[in-house]
Structure 1
């Protein structure tokens, strides 16, 4: 299974909103600029996230998007399934061999377990930990 730009950029949007949770709406333009992404493409991705109830849009001059739940309540699995569809490494109707089918099921279940146990709050803390491990040297 390969996660497309839909899933990757969708996670980017959601991580940005999670990092600013409780601080007011964030515009897609600012998310696009900070991450070097197309604002138009992000608009296409945020629509299904809004329809699924993960984000809310705020209108007006200082509008944008906010998470509809706390970052700890939204998993990466929620986001990936909304944007990519079901998690499946192969089309199971093509695989008749029961041994190989069991392998594909185990792979699918392992991927789902990681995605479903990783919240936006986790992702933000991973990002913060990574930034703290960067050392700055002056010569």
Structure 2
């Protein structure tokens, strides 16, 4: 499964809002500037997050966005599903032979477990340590 910029930037919005939770609304302009991202693109991502009940928009001169729930109650999986759709490593696994089908399901379940047990609070409070040795990231 490959997470697109929609999922990655959506997480960026949500982590930023979680870090500022309780301090009033934050504008997408500020989030875009702080993370060197396109404000226009972030606006496109805010709509589905708002429709899913994960964020609220506040109008006015000092408006912006706030989390609709406590950071500890929103999982990374909630955000990824809204922006990326269902979590599945392979399309059409029902057509695979049983051994491969079992593998794809185990991979799907492992990814879901990580996403569903990682909260915005966890991500907002992360201390910047690198992942454990042995993990590889492909860029």
TM-score, reference length from structure 1: 0.90
Superposition misfits of 4+ residues, deviation over 4 angstroms: none
1:58 counterpart = 2:58: yes
Query: Equivalent residue for 1:22?
Result: 22
In terms of fraction of residues, the more helix-rich structure is 1
CA RMSD in angstroms, aligned pairs only:
1.1
Alignment coverage as a number of residue pairs: 129
Judge which range, 94-103 or 71-80, deviates more: 94-103
Gap runs ≥5 in structure 1:
132-139
Gap runs ≥5 in structure 2:
130-139
Query: Equivalent residue for 1:83?
Result: 83
Bigger CA radius of gyration: 1
TM-score, reference length from structure 2: 0.90
Query: Equivalent residue for 1:123?
Result: 123
* Rounded Cα–Cα distance in structure 1 between residues aligned with 2:96 and 2:111: 22
* Rounded Cα–Cα distance in structure 2 between residues aligned with 1:4 and 1:103: 23
Shift of 1:94: 6.5
Query: Equivalent residue for 1:2?
Result: 2
Shift of 1:93: 4.5
